[in-house]
Each structure stands twice: as C-alpha cells, then as structure tokens.
Structure 1
Amino acid sequence: MKVLICDDHKIVRDGLSQILAQHENIRLIHEAATGGEALKMIDKVGYDLLLLDISLPDQSGLDVLQTIMKKWPATYVLMLSMHPQEQYAIRALSYGASGYLTKDAAAEELLLAVRKIAENGQYISPSLAHCLALSLNTDGNKPLHEKLSEREFEIMIKIATGKSLIEIGNELFISNKTVSTYRSRIMEKMNLEKNTDLTRYCIEKQLI
C-alpha cells in the first residue's frame, strides 16, 4: 500500500509514520501539511490510503474528502480528528470516508483500521457502530447543526471560536459580505440571535 498522511502538525505526522511503518503491507509513506498539498500529491503520485485530519489550516478536511471522492474515488480515506466520533464521523462517512478515528486512539487500533480498510474498504469501530445505531434511532430528533450545509457548519465553528467575519473571509477566500450572509442563514436555521448563543450551543454539543 502507498499511504499519504495529511496533518498540519509535524510531530503528529512523524508519530503516525512510525506506527504505520510497522504494517507489513505498507511500502511507501508520504506526508502533507495542508489539504491543497495533499490533493496535488494524490494527483501526482496516487495513493491507496490517505490519513486525513479534519482540521487543516487551508480548508476543512471534509472538503478535501469530498474532492477526493469526486476525482479519485478509489482512494481510501481514514479521517483523524480531536473531536468525538459522534460529532463528525457520521458526516465523514456519508461523504465517502472509509473510517474515522480520534487522535487519542491507541496505535493498535490505527493498525487494525488500516488492515480492515485494506481488506474490505471500511473500518467501523464498535463505538462508532453504536453512534451510527443511535443516529438511525433518533433520526427524527436530529440536533439543529445537522440542518447546516458543510460550508455553513464550517463557518458556524469559526464564529463560535470567536473569529471575526474578516478573519473568516480571509481564511475561506470569500468576501465579508458573503460570510455575513452565511451567518444570517446559520442563525435562522439554528434559531439563535447572537454569536454568544452560537458559542454556547457548540460548547454544549462538544463541537468546539
């Protein structure tokens, strides 16, 4: 297998590389620090598996995932995140990810996930399977943030962490006016009025 690790922290990439080097079927491990860099490398080299962080400096890992599924659908993607599984895993799997691991997972689980993905294209941990089952059982009572589009969700998180409209616009390469429009949609869908309400909601739902 040829593997690409995409994470903006060098120490994390180094640690993952050391763990993956123990896998008997991995013959190549490359690294990327941004989503844009990862996409260029996939286009140039081609990889069997991408370990992809959800939080990247240039764009959302979920956006990178969607691009990969459109252009290189044969590439397996294992999402990595500091966030609990129930917050992002279902969204990631619906976009085509082959699995989802939190960064506090043991090295043994990472190797198990890679083996399972190599064998059958997917890894679902027992805890993630439980999350999926709960999601199906409570489909009629989805949390408010599930109503948001991917871009709206991304902007909601940035607003909730205290970033200004200007900062968000610069990060996403869109105008302040566009960010303001997104904010209005988010507030309407979430039935909220102030940024502090949004922050409180995200903290309560463990989104930040």
Structure 2
Amino acid sequence: MHKILIADDHILVRLGMELVVKEVLGSSVMVDFASDGRELYEKLASKEYDILISDLNMPGMEGLGMVANALKIQDKLRILLVSVNPETIFAHRYLKAGAFGYIQKGNSDEELKRAIYDISIGRRYVTSGQAEQFTNAFLNDIPSNPFDTLSAREFEVALLLLKGNGVLEVSTALSINSSTASTYRGRVFEKLAIKNVIELSQLARRYRVVGDDTMLR
C-alpha cells in the first residue's frame, strides 16, 4: 500500500489531490496532509512515506530548501512538486535538487495522473515541454533565460528578494550570516546585470519567474 503525504496550504487543493491520488493508485492508499512547512517536517519525522506531493511555497518553508530538508529526513522519498510557477524556470532546478517530478497547476488532469503513476513505480516524470527544454539546453549549451545563470543558492536568494525580504531576512531564512547573504545578493545583481530589487522584479516578470504582483506561490 502506498503511503502519500500531500502538502498544500489550501484545504480544497489537498482534498482534490487526494481524489486524484486514489483514482490513480486505488482507494486503499494511505493519505496524510500537511498545511505548512512545520507540519510537513513533523509528519516526515514521525512516519515513513513513499511519495510527497507538495506545493512549492507554504508558510514555514522555501521550495528548494524543502526538497533538500525532506530528503535529509527520508532519503528514499519521491517528491512531486505541483505549483503555479512556470516549469521553464523552476522544473530543472527542483529535479536537480532531487524531486521526481514537477507539474504546473495549470497542466491537465491526465498529465498529473501520469506523473503520480510514474512516480509511484519509482520512475521520474518529465513533461514533454521539460524534455524539449532540457534537450535544447544540452545541445545548445546556452541558458534559456538569465535566471539559469544563477546557482541554486543564488536563485533561492533571488526568490527571497522578490518576496520583499531584506538581507537580514534572507540570512535568517537560509541560516547564513548577513555578510554572506549580502554577497549572494551582489552576485545575483551582477549575473543578471541589474542594480536593485526593482529591476530584479521587472526582469522576473518579464521571464515569468513571478506574476504581476511579484508574489510566488
């Protein structure tokens, strides 16, 4: 019997995902829920799961850090991320971090079902769009957007800056000292050829890293 943990801060999303999971894997599947980062980590520490299906950002956690932290607790956990954030920007980063799949919330129900099934049998899931993007990047060896030039930690810093966090908040969120956080911010600005957070926000909207309200979900 598969043991699934579904993490999302919206109850309707959690219940809807449970219905999809049981349709794909059968009604006998065991499903637990987490509504924030604290609850997610508590559940992972107290019970073993086969699959984690999670939104990217919830209270008490950050996406890239969540994948690493979850795998530290359960190293065989298969993680499927389901988010509104565009796969062209985010998918490859989370797959490299150890996730088994990345699906946009706007994708079809059939694609979500295929992802759940593939991951349930231990197979990583890549959408056709992701496969094309990865192939082009491999063949051309050229970043598809400027944000691809950022390291994983620099990308985390950029996302925190886009949420309105300053250097102190970034250092707290990533458990680094403020001077290191400031250095990372400088690297982000340098690599993206920008001067401030306003230009970062404009660039992020241009490449659909964030929506018009600059808030990630």
TM-score band w.r.t. shorter chain: 0.7 to 0.9
Question: What's the offset of the Cα at 1:207?
Answer: 0.5
Matched, 1:23 2:24: yes
| Equivalent pair of 2:143/2:149 in contact (CA under 8 Å) | no
Counterpart AA for 2:130: L
Letter aligned with residue 84 of structure 2: M
Q: Is the 8 A contact 2:44 2:73 kept in 1?
A: no
Q: Which moved more, 1:164-173 or 1:188-197?
A: 164-173
For residues 59 and 180 of structure 2, the distance between their equivalents in structure 1, rounded to whole angstroms, comes to 20
Q: Deviations over 1:96-120 (max 9, x none)?
A: 1111111112322222211111224
**CA distance, structure 2, for counterparts of residue 162 and residue 46 of structure 1:** 36
| 1:52-201 correspondence runs (5 A) | 52-141=54-143, 143-165=145-167, 168=170, 179-201=181-203
TM-score (ref. length: structure 2) = 0.83
Shift of 1:173: 6.4
Q: Call closer, same or farther: CA 1:81–1:46 in 2, change over 3 Å.
A: same
Farther-moved stretch of structure 1 (21-30 vs 97-106): 21-30
In the TM superposition, residue 143 of structure 1 has moved relative to its aligned partner by 3.5
RMSD after superposition: 2.4
Deviates more, 1:75-84 or 1:190-199: 190-199
> What secondary structure, in the 3-state scheme, does the structure 2 residue paired with 1:140 have?
coil
**1:34 is matched with which residue?**
36
Asked if 2 retains the 8 angstrom alpha-carbon contact of 1:34 and 1:57, the reply is yes
Q: Structure 1 residues 34 and 150 mapped into 2: Cα distance closer, same or farther (>3 Å)?
A: farther
TM-score (norm 1): 0.86
1:71 and 1:190 map into 2 onto residues whose CA distance is: 34
Q: Deviation digits for residues 10-53 of structure 1, max 9, x if unmatched?
A: 22112111222223445211111122321221221111100021
Unaligned runs of 5+ residues in structure 2 are 211-217
More deviation, 111-120/89-98 = 111-120
Quote the residue 1:13 is aligned against.
14
Number of aligned pairs?
A: 208
Displacement of 1:61 after TM fit? 2.0
Match of 2:215 in 1: none
- Residue by residue over 1:56-80, the C-alpha shift from the partner in whole angstroms, topping out at 9 and shown as x without a partner, is 2222122111123334221111111
